[in-house]
Structure 1
Amino acid sequence: MPKIPVEISARHIHLSQKDLDALFGKGFKLKKIKDLSQPGEFASSQTVELIGPKSSYKKVRVIGPVRKNTQVEITATDCRVLGINAPVRLSGNVKGSAQATIKGPKARIKLKQGVIIAQRHLHLSAEEAKKLKVRNNQKVSVRIKGERSITFHEVVVRAGRQYKKACHLDTDEGNSAGMKTCEYGELVK
Protein backbone atom coordinates (compact mmCIF):
# COMPACT_ATOMS: atom_id res chain seq x y z
CA MET A 1 0.00 0.00 0.00
CA PRO A 2 1.34 3.46 -0.87
CA LYS A 3 3.02 5.36 1.99
CA ILE A 4 1.66 8.85 2.64
CA PRO A 5 3.27 11.54 4.86
CA VAL A 6 0.71 12.51 7.52
CA GLU A 7 0.99 15.93 9.16
CA ILE A 8 -0.85 17.42 12.11
CA SER A 9 -2.26 20.89 11.55
CA ALA A 10 -2.76 22.96 14.73
CA ARG A 11 -5.32 25.78 14.99
CA HIS A 12 -4.38 28.66 12.70
CA ILE A 13 -5.73 31.55 10.66
CA HIS A 14 -5.40 32.69 7.05
CA LEU A 15 -6.05 36.44 6.66
CA SER A 16 -7.35 38.50 3.75
CA GLN A 17 -5.32 41.63 2.94
CA LYS A 18 -8.17 43.79 4.27
CA ASP A 19 -8.22 41.98 7.63
CA LEU A 20 -4.40 41.87 7.82
CA ASP A 21 -4.35 45.67 7.34
CA ALA A 22 -7.02 46.14 10.03
CA LEU A 23 -5.35 43.86 12.58
CA PHE A 24 -1.68 44.80 12.02
CA GLY A 25 -1.75 48.17 10.23
CA LYS A 26 -2.13 49.35 6.63
CA GLY A 27 0.41 47.78 4.27
CA PHE A 28 1.67 45.27 6.86
CA LYS A 29 3.59 42.29 5.42
CA LEU A 30 3.68 38.90 7.13
CA LYS A 31 7.13 37.82 8.34
CA LYS A 32 7.95 34.23 7.35
CA ILE A 33 9.49 32.03 10.04
CA LYS A 34 9.09 28.64 8.35
CA ASP A 35 7.97 27.17 5.04
CA LEU A 36 5.16 24.64 5.27
CA SER A 37 4.85 21.43 3.25
CA GLN A 38 2.53 22.90 0.61
CA PRO A 39 4.44 25.06 -1.90
CA GLY A 40 4.19 28.79 -1.19
CA GLU A 41 2.58 28.42 2.24
CA PHE A 42 4.43 29.52 5.37
CA ALA A 43 4.07 30.05 9.10
CA SER A 44 4.50 33.72 9.97
CA SER A 45 5.78 35.20 13.21
CA GLN A 46 2.45 37.00 13.61
CA THR A 47 -0.25 35.72 15.95
CA VAL A 48 -3.75 36.89 16.87
CA GLU A 49 -6.22 36.20 19.64
CA LEU A 50 -9.26 34.13 18.66
CA ILE A 51 -12.27 35.05 20.80
CA GLY A 52 -15.47 33.04 21.13
CA PRO A 53 -18.53 33.44 23.37
CA LYS A 54 -17.07 31.25 26.16
CA SER A 55 -13.30 31.67 25.98
CA SER A 56 -10.35 32.68 23.81
CA TYR A 57 -7.04 31.40 22.49
CA LYS A 58 -4.10 33.78 22.44
CA LYS A 59 -1.24 33.35 19.97
CA VAL A 60 -3.10 31.71 17.10
CA ARG A 61 -0.55 31.50 14.28
CA VAL A 62 -1.15 33.46 11.07
CA ILE A 63 -0.36 31.39 7.95
CA GLY A 64 0.74 33.13 4.77
CA PRO A 65 0.38 34.24 2.12
CA VAL A 66 -2.77 36.36 2.38
CA ARG A 67 -5.95 34.85 0.95
CA LYS A 68 -9.07 36.17 -0.72
CA ASN A 69 -11.13 35.45 2.43
CA THR A 70 -10.13 35.19 6.07
CA GLN A 71 -10.41 31.62 7.34
CA VAL A 72 -9.86 30.19 10.82
CA GLU A 73 -9.19 26.45 11.17
CA ILE A 74 -9.83 24.94 14.60
CA THR A 75 -10.67 21.54 16.09
CA ALA A 76 -13.89 20.17 17.58
CA THR A 77 -12.23 20.47 21.01
CA ASP A 78 -11.44 24.14 20.31
CA CYS A 79 -15.10 24.66 19.36
CA ARG A 80 -16.26 23.39 22.74
CA VAL A 81 -13.74 25.55 24.62
CA LEU A 82 -14.60 28.69 22.62
CA GLY A 83 -18.36 28.10 22.46
CA ILE A 84 -18.34 28.09 18.65
CA ASN A 85 -20.32 25.70 16.45
CA ALA A 86 -18.03 25.44 13.41
CA PRO A 87 -18.87 23.11 10.50
CA VAL A 88 -16.48 20.54 9.04
CA ARG A 89 -15.46 21.96 5.66
CA LEU A 90 -12.71 21.84 3.07
CA SER A 91 -10.38 24.82 3.17
CA GLY A 92 -11.80 27.73 1.19
CA ASN A 93 -15.44 26.75 1.75
CA VAL A 94 -16.37 29.34 4.38
CA LYS A 95 -19.81 30.50 3.19
CA GLY A 96 -22.24 30.29 6.10
CA SER A 97 -19.57 28.99 8.49
CA ALA A 98 -19.12 30.06 12.13
CA GLN A 99 -18.39 33.51 13.53
CA ALA A 100 -15.66 34.69 15.90
CA THR A 101 -13.81 37.81 16.97
CA ILE A 102 -10.15 38.24 16.02
CA LYS A 103 -7.90 40.57 18.00
CA GLY A 104 -4.59 41.84 16.65
CA PRO A 105 -2.16 44.52 17.86
CA LYS A 106 -4.02 47.35 16.07
CA ALA A 107 -7.69 46.33 16.12
CA ARG A 108 -10.37 43.78 16.83
CA ILE A 109 -12.57 42.49 13.99
CA LYS A 110 -15.78 40.47 14.02
CA LEU A 111 -15.78 37.66 11.45
CA LYS A 112 -19.35 37.09 10.26
CA GLN A 113 -18.22 33.75 8.77
CA GLY A 114 -14.93 31.95 8.23
CA VAL A 115 -14.43 29.59 11.19
CA ILE A 116 -14.28 25.92 10.19
CA ILE A 117 -13.07 22.53 11.34
CA ALA A 118 -10.90 21.50 8.40
CA GLN A 119 -12.06 18.32 6.66
CA ARG A 120 -9.22 15.81 6.73
CA HIS A 121 -7.64 15.81 3.31
CA LEU A 122 -4.83 14.44 1.15
CA HIS A 123 -2.81 16.82 -1.02
CA LEU A 124 -1.38 15.25 -4.19
CA SER A 125 0.18 16.64 -7.32
CA ALA A 126 -1.71 15.76 -10.50
CA GLU A 127 1.04 13.23 -11.31
CA GLU A 128 0.88 11.61 -7.85
CA ALA A 129 -2.92 11.33 -8.09
CA LYS A 130 -2.63 9.64 -11.48
CA LYS A 131 0.02 7.23 -10.19
CA LEU A 132 -2.13 6.35 -7.15
CA LYS A 133 -5.25 6.06 -9.35
CA VAL A 134 -7.27 8.64 -7.40
CA ARG A 135 -8.89 11.88 -8.53
CA ASN A 136 -9.58 15.34 -7.13
CA ASN A 137 -12.43 15.36 -4.55
CA GLN A 138 -12.47 11.55 -4.29
CA LYS A 139 -12.85 10.26 -0.73
CA VAL A 140 -10.24 7.74 0.41
CA SER A 141 -9.07 6.23 3.69
CA VAL A 142 -5.66 6.56 5.35
CA ARG A 143 -4.45 3.99 7.90
CA ILE A 144 -1.93 4.96 10.56
CA LYS A 145 -0.22 2.06 12.32
CA GLY A 146 1.21 2.16 15.81
CA GLU A 147 0.23 1.73 19.42
CA ARG A 148 -3.09 3.46 18.67
CA SER A 149 -3.62 2.25 15.08
CA ILE A 150 -6.52 3.93 13.34
CA THR A 151 -7.98 4.28 9.86
CA PHE A 152 -9.35 7.68 8.89
CA HIS A 153 -12.19 7.56 6.38
CA GLU A 154 -13.69 10.44 4.37
CA VAL A 155 -10.23 11.83 3.53
CA VAL A 156 -10.81 14.16 0.57
CA VAL A 157 -8.21 14.10 -2.22
CA ARG A 158 -7.05 17.58 -3.23
CA ALA A 159 -5.14 17.00 -6.45
CA GLY A 160 -3.50 19.66 -8.58
CA ARG A 161 -0.22 20.99 -9.93
CA GLN A 162 0.25 23.24 -6.90
CA TYR A 163 0.17 20.44 -4.31
CA LYS A 164 2.77 18.15 -2.74
CA LYS A 165 1.92 14.74 -1.23
CA ALA A 166 0.76 15.08 2.40
CA CYS A 167 -2.30 14.07 4.39
CA HIS A 168 -3.47 16.78 6.81
CA LEU A 169 -5.21 15.93 10.07
CA ASP A 170 -6.08 18.30 12.90
CA THR A 171 -4.69 17.91 16.43
CA ASP A 172 -7.77 16.03 17.68
CA GLU A 173 -7.33 13.46 14.91
CA GLY A 174 -3.55 13.26 15.36
CA ASN A 175 -3.93 12.75 19.11
CA SER A 176 -6.47 9.96 18.57
CA ALA A 177 -3.81 8.13 16.53
CA GLY A 178 -1.09 8.79 19.12
CA MET A 179 0.92 10.82 16.61
CA LYS A 180 3.68 13.11 17.82
CA THR A 181 4.91 14.74 14.61
CA CYS A 182 4.87 13.95 10.91
CA GLU A 183 4.48 10.22 10.45
CA TYR A 184 3.52 7.96 7.58
CA GLY A 185 0.21 6.36 6.81
CA GLU A 186 -1.02 3.98 4.13
CA LEU A 187 -3.51 4.92 1.45
CA VAL A 188 -6.54 2.62 1.58
CA LYS A 189 -8.99 3.24 -1.26
Structure 2
Amino acid sequence: MNEQAIQSIVEEIVSRLKGSSVKYHSIPMAVSARHCHLSQKDLEVLFGTGYQLTKKADLSQPGQFAANETITIAGPRGSIEKVRILGPARNITQVEISRTDSVKLGLKPPLRESGNIEGSSPVTLIGPKGSIYKKEGLIIAQAHIHMAPEDAETFGVKNGEYVKVEAEGERPISMGNVLIRISPRYRLEMHIDTDEANAGFITGKTAGRLIRQEESL
Protein backbone atom coordinates (compact mmCIF):
# COMPACT_ATOMS: atom_id res chain seq x y z
CA MET A 1 0.00 0.00 0.00
CA ASN A 2 1.48 3.37 -0.99
CA GLU A 3 1.82 6.38 1.29
CA GLN A 4 -1.04 8.29 -0.32
CA ALA A 5 -3.47 5.41 0.22
CA ILE A 6 -2.43 5.12 3.89
CA GLN A 7 -2.90 8.85 4.39
CA SER A 8 -6.37 8.63 2.83
CA ILE A 9 -7.40 5.84 5.23
CA VAL A 10 -6.10 7.78 8.24
CA GLU A 11 -8.03 10.88 7.20
CA GLU A 12 -11.21 8.83 6.80
CA ILE A 13 -10.86 7.31 10.29
CA VAL A 14 -10.23 10.71 11.88
CA SER A 15 -13.23 12.15 10.05
CA ARG A 16 -15.50 9.37 11.31
CA LEU A 17 -14.28 9.78 14.88
CA LYS A 18 -14.94 13.53 14.79
CA GLY A 19 -18.47 12.88 13.58
CA SER A 20 -19.17 10.16 16.11
CA SER A 21 -22.03 10.68 18.55
CA VAL A 22 -20.09 9.04 21.39
CA LYS A 23 -17.45 10.64 23.58
CA TYR A 24 -14.98 8.78 25.77
CA HIS A 25 -13.31 9.89 28.99
CA SER A 26 -11.29 7.90 31.53
CA ILE A 27 -12.60 7.82 35.10
CA PRO A 28 -10.75 6.45 38.16
CA MET A 29 -12.90 3.85 39.93
CA ALA A 30 -13.18 3.07 43.65
CA VAL A 31 -14.92 0.20 45.40
CA SER A 32 -17.22 1.34 48.18
CA ALA A 33 -17.67 -1.45 50.72
CA ARG A 34 -20.67 -1.58 53.07
CA HIS A 35 -20.67 1.41 55.41
CA CYS A 36 -22.83 3.67 57.56
CA HIS A 37 -23.38 7.40 57.88
CA LEU A 38 -24.80 8.39 61.28
CA SER A 39 -26.58 11.45 62.56
CA GLN A 40 -25.07 12.85 65.76
CA LYS A 41 -28.22 11.84 67.64
CA ASP A 42 -27.98 8.21 66.55
CA LEU A 43 -24.22 8.17 67.11
CA GLU A 44 -24.79 9.10 70.75
CA VAL A 45 -27.43 6.40 71.21
CA LEU A 46 -25.01 3.79 69.89
CA PHE A 47 -21.80 5.05 71.53
CA GLY A 48 -22.82 7.27 74.41
CA THR A 49 -23.79 10.87 75.12
CA GLY A 50 -21.46 13.43 73.57
CA TYR A 51 -19.51 10.83 71.60
CA GLN A 52 -17.41 12.03 68.66
CA LEU A 53 -16.09 9.89 65.81
CA THR A 54 -12.33 9.33 65.65
CA LYS A 55 -10.48 9.29 62.33
CA LYS A 56 -8.90 6.11 61.02
CA ALA A 57 -8.06 7.35 57.51
CA ASP A 58 -8.97 10.14 55.10
CA LEU A 59 -11.14 9.20 52.11
CA SER A 60 -10.62 10.38 48.55
CA GLN A 61 -13.45 12.91 48.78
CA PRO A 62 -12.25 16.04 50.61
CA GLY A 63 -13.37 16.28 54.24
CA GLN A 64 -14.63 12.68 54.41
CA PHE A 65 -12.98 10.01 56.54
CA ALA A 66 -13.27 6.40 57.61
CA ALA A 67 -13.79 6.28 61.37
CA ASN A 68 -12.23 3.82 63.78
CA GLU A 69 -15.73 3.03 65.01
CA THR A 70 -17.86 0.22 63.57
CA ILE A 71 -21.34 -1.10 64.27
CA THR A 72 -23.36 -4.25 63.70
CA ILE A 73 -26.36 -4.12 61.35
CA ALA A 74 -29.14 -6.69 61.67
CA GLY A 75 -32.21 -7.92 59.83
CA PRO A 76 -34.73 -10.75 60.26
CA ARG A 77 -32.39 -13.36 58.77
CA GLY A 78 -28.98 -12.41 60.13
CA SER A 79 -26.48 -9.71 61.01
CA ILE A 80 -23.22 -8.21 59.71
CA GLU A 81 -20.57 -7.08 62.17
CA LYS A 82 -17.87 -4.41 61.88
CA VAL A 83 -19.68 -2.15 59.45
CA ARG A 84 -17.45 0.91 59.12
CA ILE A 85 -18.82 4.34 60.01
CA LEU A 86 -17.84 7.19 57.70
CA GLY A 87 -17.50 10.70 59.06
CA PRO A 88 -18.23 13.38 59.77
CA ALA A 89 -21.71 12.94 61.28
CA ARG A 90 -24.58 13.76 58.90
CA ASN A 91 -28.10 15.12 59.19
CA ILE A 92 -29.63 11.68 58.59
CA THR A 93 -28.56 8.11 59.21
CA GLN A 94 -27.99 5.98 56.12
CA VAL A 95 -26.56 2.49 55.67
CA GLU A 96 -25.21 1.39 52.27
CA ILE A 97 -24.80 -2.31 51.48
CA SER A 98 -24.59 -4.63 48.47
CA ARG A 99 -27.32 -6.91 47.15
CA THR A 100 -25.37 -9.89 48.51
CA ASP A 101 -25.39 -8.29 51.98
CA SER A 102 -29.15 -7.78 51.76
CA VAL A 103 -29.70 -11.51 51.24
CA LYS A 104 -27.72 -12.28 54.40
CA LEU A 105 -29.79 -9.76 56.37
CA GLY A 106 -33.11 -10.90 54.92
CA LEU A 107 -33.98 -7.36 53.83
CA LYS A 108 -34.86 -5.74 50.49
CA PRO A 109 -33.22 -2.31 50.29
CA PRO A 110 -33.96 -0.31 47.13
CA LEU A 111 -31.37 0.92 44.65
CA ARG A 112 -31.10 4.63 45.44
CA GLU A 113 -28.98 7.73 45.07
CA SER A 114 -27.11 8.36 48.30
CA GLY A 115 -29.18 10.62 50.52
CA ASN A 116 -32.53 9.45 49.18
CA ILE A 117 -33.79 7.18 51.96
CA GLU A 118 -37.51 7.96 51.99
CA GLY A 119 -39.44 4.70 51.97
CA SER A 120 -36.24 2.64 52.00
CA SER A 121 -35.64 -0.54 53.98
CA PRO A 122 -35.69 -0.72 57.78
CA VAL A 123 -32.58 -1.90 59.62
CA THR A 124 -31.39 -2.39 63.18
CA LEU A 125 -28.12 -0.75 64.25
CA ILE A 126 -26.19 -2.10 67.22
CA GLY A 127 -23.37 -0.26 68.97
CA PRO A 128 -21.41 -0.75 72.20
CA LYS A 129 -23.79 1.42 74.26
CA GLY A 130 -27.18 0.80 72.65
CA SER A 131 -29.20 -0.14 69.59
CA ILE A 132 -31.67 1.55 67.24
CA TYR A 133 -34.38 0.25 64.95
CA LYS A 134 -34.57 2.54 61.92
CA LYS A 135 -37.83 2.39 59.96
CA GLU A 136 -35.92 3.50 56.86
CA GLY A 137 -32.33 4.20 55.90
CA LEU A 138 -30.93 1.02 54.34
CA ILE A 139 -30.15 1.28 50.62
CA ILE A 140 -28.06 -0.16 47.82
CA ALA A 141 -26.25 2.88 46.44
CA GLN A 142 -26.64 3.75 42.77
CA ALA A 143 -23.28 3.63 40.96
CA HIS A 144 -22.21 7.24 40.58
CA ILE A 145 -19.38 9.55 39.58
CA HIS A 146 -18.23 12.41 41.77
CA MET A 147 -16.81 15.33 39.84
CA ALA A 148 -16.03 19.01 40.24
CA PRO A 149 -17.69 21.60 37.98
CA GLU A 150 -14.55 21.93 35.86
CA ASP A 151 -14.55 18.17 35.26
CA ALA A 152 -18.20 18.30 34.25
CA GLU A 153 -17.45 21.07 31.77
CA THR A 154 -14.59 19.07 30.26
CA PHE A 155 -16.70 15.93 30.00
CA GLY A 156 -19.81 17.76 28.79
CA VAL A 157 -22.13 16.33 31.45
CA LYS A 158 -24.64 17.80 33.88
CA ASN A 159 -25.55 17.07 37.48
CA GLY A 160 -28.15 14.32 37.67
CA GLU A 161 -27.36 13.00 34.19
CA TYR A 162 -26.92 9.26 33.66
CA VAL A 163 -24.06 7.89 31.60
CA LYS A 164 -22.55 4.55 30.65
CA VAL A 165 -19.18 3.37 31.91
CA GLU A 166 -17.09 0.54 30.52
CA ALA A 167 -14.64 -0.85 33.06
CA GLU A 168 -11.25 -1.82 31.76
CA GLY A 169 -9.23 -4.75 33.06
CA GLU A 170 -9.13 -8.53 33.16
CA ARG A 171 -12.92 -8.92 32.83
CA PRO A 172 -14.29 -5.83 31.07
CA ILE A 173 -17.89 -5.00 31.96
CA SER A 174 -20.30 -2.25 31.03
CA MET A 175 -22.46 -0.38 33.54
CA GLY A 176 -25.42 1.77 32.55
CA ASN A 177 -27.41 4.34 34.54
CA VAL A 178 -24.30 5.67 36.27
CA LEU A 179 -25.30 8.90 37.99
CA ILE A 180 -23.30 12.11 37.61
CA ARG A 181 -22.94 14.09 40.88
CA ILE A 182 -21.30 17.51 40.64
CA SER A 183 -20.02 19.72 43.46
CA PRO A 184 -17.02 21.99 44.09
CA ARG A 185 -16.33 19.69 47.08
CA TYR A 186 -15.89 16.60 44.91
CA ARG A 187 -12.82 14.94 43.45
CA LEU A 188 -13.16 12.97 40.21
CA GLU A 189 -13.96 9.34 41.04
CA MET A 190 -16.57 6.69 40.28
CA HIS A 191 -18.00 4.70 43.20
CA ILE A 192 -19.35 1.16 42.84
CA ASP A 193 -20.26 -1.48 45.40
CA THR A 194 -18.54 -4.81 46.05
CA ASP A 195 -20.97 -6.84 43.91
CA GLU A 196 -20.26 -4.62 40.89
CA ALA A 197 -16.53 -4.77 41.60
CA ASN A 198 -16.49 -8.55 41.90
CA ALA A 199 -18.38 -8.92 38.62
CA GLY A 200 -15.65 -7.03 36.76
CA PHE A 201 -12.58 -8.02 38.80
CA ILE A 202 -12.33 -4.33 39.65
CA THR A 203 -9.73 -3.11 42.13
CA GLY A 204 -8.64 0.32 43.30
CA LYS A 205 -6.36 0.64 40.28
CA THR A 206 -9.08 0.12 37.66
CA ALA A 207 -10.18 2.90 35.31
CA GLY A 208 -13.52 3.23 33.57
CA ARG A 209 -14.37 4.74 30.22
CA LEU A 210 -17.23 7.23 30.40
CA ILE A 211 -19.46 7.15 27.37
CA ARG A 212 -21.95 9.94 26.74
CA GLN A 213 -24.42 10.16 23.87
CA GLU A 214 -24.70 13.56 22.29
CA GLU A 215 -27.93 15.44 23.02
CA SER A 216 -28.86 15.32 19.33
CA LEU A 217 -29.52 11.56 19.54
Q: TM-score, normalised by structure 1?
A: 0.98
Instruction: Structure 1: give runs of 5+ residues left out of the alignment.
Output: none
Higher helix share goes to which structure?
2
CA distance in 2, matches of 1:104, 1:181: 30
Query: What percent identity do the matched residue pairs reach?
Result: 46
Equivalent residue runs for 1:1-189 within 5 Å: 1-189=24-212
Q: CA–CA distance in 2 between the matches of 1:142 and 1:39?
A: 24
The 3-state SS of whatever aligns with 1:2 is strand
- 4+ long deviations beyond 2 Å: none
Alpha-carbon RMSD: 0.8
Deviations 1:36-92 (A, max 9, x none): 111111000000000011000010000001010000000111111100110000010
Query: For residues 93 and 60 of structure 1, what CA distance do their matches in structure 2 show?
Result: 20
For 2:196 and 2:161, locate their aligned partners in 1 and report how far apart those are by CA, in whole Å: 20
Q: Which runs of no fewer than 5 residues in structure 2 stay unpaired?
A: 1-23, 213-217
How many pairs does the alignment contain?
A: 189
Contact 2:169 2:206 in 1 (8 A): no
C-alpha displacement of 1:163: 0.8
Task: Report the structure number with the largest CA radius of gyration.
Answer: 2
- 1:126 deviates by 0.8
Q: Deviations over 1:116-138 (max 9, x none)?
A: 00000000001100111000000
**Cα pair 1:8 1:182 within 8 Å, conserved:** no
Per-residue Cα deviation, 1:101-149 (whole angstroms, up to 9, x for no partner)? 1000000110110000000000000110011100000000111122210
Query: Hey, which of these two has a bigger chunk of strand by percent?
Result: 1
- SS, match of residue 164 in structure 1: coil
